[in-house]
Structure 1
Amino acid sequence: MDKYVLNPEVTAFLDVMNHPLRDLIENLRRVILTAGPDLVEGIKWNGPNYSLNGQDRITMRIHPPKQVQLVLHRGAKVKEQPKERLLKDECALLDWKSNDRAVLTVRSLAELQGHQAVVEDVAAQWLVVTGD
């Protein structure tokens, strides 16, 4: 059984929002928290945010409410760019903004379910390669 802890502050934040893709958001919360048992869930940039050892790693972009995006990054501060992308993207689900920043867009719960294993793997790998 997967162990993860949902932050009640994030749940309350989402309750007030009444987002039309709430089921998708909740499933993504579980996927992300399962990928990294040491992740801390909070709210940053007006959406759920996931930090590892105090460093932001994955931020959920939930606006506009027609899709949900997982922004994979190494924190808010600019860092020296790696020479290559930090992950191999064999399924072409990532939109690379730089070699250390990518966006994964999911438009529906059905779409997530169709790619869930890949999304879980991407999240877990991201935490490993950005572990600094």
Structure 2
Amino acid sequence: MTDLRTGDCYSFHVEHPAGTLLVHPSANYLPGVLTAHPADTVYLGIGALGKQPPAFREAYWKEVVAATGATRVVAIHWDNFTRSLDRPLQALPPRFDDVHTSLEFLSERCADSGIALVLPRLWGPADPFAPVGDHHR
């Protein structure tokens, strides 16, 4: 896992007749880049976000979620990717991340902003354009 450091941050913006979405798999950001890419749903990478200082988490929220105007956040990249996907999802080990802190932070920000927070189900269907509150079909 430590050999996978690239220092780069990639996002994927998808426009569809049903809506827009942003896949932002890395818990990092470039200031101001995403303001030009509104998204209804943000698939938000939170891996190692819980180990970051509170000021970083606030800036991350502002630069990725608030900047896009999202109404739904789907937390991704929080699970232990060394674990086989034929087993239930498990959080990254505490030495790599504090997933509880990340999810607590997201829960508070989403509640304060009226944004739906979703945790994906392994192999479950998901519709990023479904009405908020009806993410899984």
| TM-score, normalised via structure 2 length | 0.27
Greater C-alpha Rg: 2
Query: Normalized per residue, which structure has more helix?
Result: 1
Query: Normalized per residue, which structure has more strand?
Result: 1
